[in-house]
Every structure is written in structure tokens, then in C-alpha cells.
Amino acid sequence: MKIVAICGSGVGSSAILKLNAERALERLDLEAEVIAGDIESLQTTAADAQVILTSPELVEHIGKTFADVVVIDNYFDLAELTEKLERAIG
């Protein structure tokens, strides 16, 4: 299982999203590799990903993908992350 957290620059917000996604996965007792990346390298980083985590603002930039796109409003809300990740992969 591979999850890619995406932001516009690949540092900062995607790193926060990756970290809190890992915490949510721990709560769910699920194993997955989570990586942080930027929109530009998405086609490579997410080629084999099952889930893309991102902001509502970035969805339109993602383009064609086979991954589930999971939109996170509040990157610090572990309850939101846990619930949405569970729905996507649980």
C-alpha cells in the first residue's frame, strides 16, 4: 500500500500531511508507505500509489490517476484524516 501526500512545493504542507497520515494509519492499525511529493512529480511518485492525499485546492491539478484521491480540509485534524483514510482503504 502506497499513499502520496501532495502539495505545490513538496515541502511544508505535504510533509505535515504525510506525518499526520502516518499517525492516522497507526490509529487504524494499517500498514502503508506514505511519501510527500509535489504536483509536478506526481505522475512518477503516484504511478503505483493507491491513495493520493491532498487539499481541495489541488484536486483539479492532479490529472489522470488510478489512485483514490482523498481530500483533506484540516491537515491537523486526526479524526478527519482517520475517517477518510479508513473509508478509502480500511
Partner 1 sequence: MPLPDLPEARVVLRAAAADWREAVREIGALLAGSGATEPGYTQRMIDVIDEFGAYVVIAPGLALAHARPGDDVREDALAVLTLDEPVRFGHPHNDPVSVVLGLAVTTSESHVGWVAEIANVFNDPSAIPRLAAATTVDEVRAVFGAAPSVEEDPA
| Positions in the binding site for partner 1 (CB under 8 A) | 7-13, 15-17, 19-20, 38-39, 54-58, 61, 73-78
φ, ψ (nearest 5 deg) of residue 18: -60, -50
Measured from the CB atom, the residue of 5 and 49 that comes closer to partner 1 is: 5
Measured from the CB atom, the residue of 13 and 51 that comes closer to partner 1 is: 13
> Using CA atoms, how far apart are residues 78 and 20, in angstroms rounded to an integer?
7
Minimum CB distance to partner 1, residue 12 (Å): 4
User: 31: helix, coil or strand?
Assistant: coil
- Cell reading at 14: 505535504
